Amino acid sequence: MVVGCQVPAENPNGSCDLAFKYLSPEVAQGFRWKKLSDPEGREVLSCLEVFNVAFEEVATTIYRDSVAFHSDPCPKGERVVLNAASRGIATLSTTHVALLEAWDDSLDHWAGGAFVDYIQSGQAKVCLMKGEAVDYRGTPEWDLEMLVSHPPSALCIYPFGNPINDATWSATIPIVPILEYLEPHPLGRAEWMKVFGWLVDDVSLLQANLAFDEVARRYESIRLVAKRQEPLQVFTGSVEQGEWHAPGGESFIASLLEDAGLSYVFQDRLGRENVRIPLEEMIEIGRKADAWGLVLHHSGSELTISELLQKDDRNRLVLPDSRRVFVANTSQCDYFGWWVARPDVMLENLTCLFEGSSCSMDMEPCFKWLAE
């Protein structure tokens, strides 16, 4: 298992903490495992701790069964016990489906989910069509009757705006928060596939570990080759209400650009969240940059620079003098699904784009240059 033991940084519960060890993921910051000891001192039981959105303290502790639940000498945060009588994991996000499929290509362990119309996975669509997975969508997100009649072993949600947080019946459904979208590094996001493996069983965790190992190995080999002596200057973001909004210097996209041998112009704006920049300042930054990157949804024909400028006249003000704009069009690539689970391919795509070389990928690139 690709996790490492480490001594707790603090001891809030006194000697109680001596009963267990932490097992930390390689890159991800939002979760960790906890090994528990049986009366004879053997480390046989484990649970999963998921941090809050600031990654500062444990918000939820997940147990596979009631034995582990009652054996934990130091419970922290909300306590969730998986439904052992049910099979399969239900998902709220399309990203969750991809993190399952990364090691379970047949999606045998996917119970179904909400927002299924946004899922681009071919295998997920097959499972839904055959009735092997449930369409849980309802109003606003979940159909209560479907959840009750087809209960999953766990319901994976994103904590922000939890749609069933205040529902009186939610206590009967094991709810597991997934914070992959907050991870500052692409590999950190992908490593949440291990959480989905653990939620199933030890064999599935092993499969998830092996899948992540291969992704991490390829990612690192590409990153080492991508280093440049004079990195090109790249910016991202868009204008809203007279201000420029872009990911901060500790965000996912900042890490990806750096690993691709590029220089993110907002690298010194600390934080994972979006930063706001006065449009006047952004005009100067944009004109001097080498390229502008966008994630957008555009249906129909291939988007062009001319069409991008027509969408908002202010785009003309920040268009680089090079007129180089690259996009990830979510109508054409599963940017919030498959590509999250395969950051190695995403990094390869980006490095090939700026090197002007053709990628050896077996699928259509996600990042593309816009034509005039």
Instruction: Provide the pLDDT confidence category of residue 1 given band limits of 50, 70 and 90.
Output: very low
Average of per-residue pLDDT across 265-283: 88
* pLDDT of 14 strictly over 80: no
Instruction: Provide the pLDDT confidence category of residue 140 given band limits of 50, 70 and 90.
Output: confident
Question: pLDDT digit string (tens) for 199-238?
Answer: 999 999 999 999 999 999 999 999 998 877 788 999 999 8
* pLDDT of 23 strictly over 80: yes
Instruction: Provide the pLDDT confidence category of residue 74 given band limits of 50, 70 and 90.
Output: confident
- Between CA 322 and CA 108 the distance in angstroms is 48
Instruction: Provide the pLDDT confidence category of residue 10 given band limits of 50, 70 and 90.
Output: very low
What pLDDT shows up at residue 33? 94
Q: For the CA atoms of 349, 354, 356, 360, what is the dihedral angle to 10 degrees?
A: -20
- Between CA 295 and CA 298 the distance in angstroms is 10
What pLDDT shows up at residue 159? 72
**Between residues 277 and 73, which one has the greater pLDDT?**
277
Mean pLDDT score of the chain: 87
Question: pLDDT digit string (tens) for 278-310?
Answer: 988 999 999 889 999 999 999 888 899 999 998
- Between CA 273 and CA 30 the distance in angstroms is 16
**CB neighbour class for 134 (10 Å; exposed up to 12, middle 13-18, buried from 19):** buried
**Between residues 48 and 5, which one has the greater pLDDT?**
48
- Between CA 362 and CA 130 the distance in angstroms is 27
**CB neighbour class for 17 (10 Å; exposed up to 12, middle 13-18, buried from 19):** middle
- Between CA 262 and CA 235 the distance in angstroms is 10
Q: Which residue has the tokens 């069964």?
A: 65
Tokens read off for 104: 């379970």
**Between residues 265 and 165, which one has the greater pLDDT?**
265
What pLDDT shows up at residue 149? 87
Domains, in order of start, for the chain: 4-81 (no CATH), 89-222 (3.40.50.1980), 226-369 (3.40.50.1980)
Tokens read off for 101: 């499929």
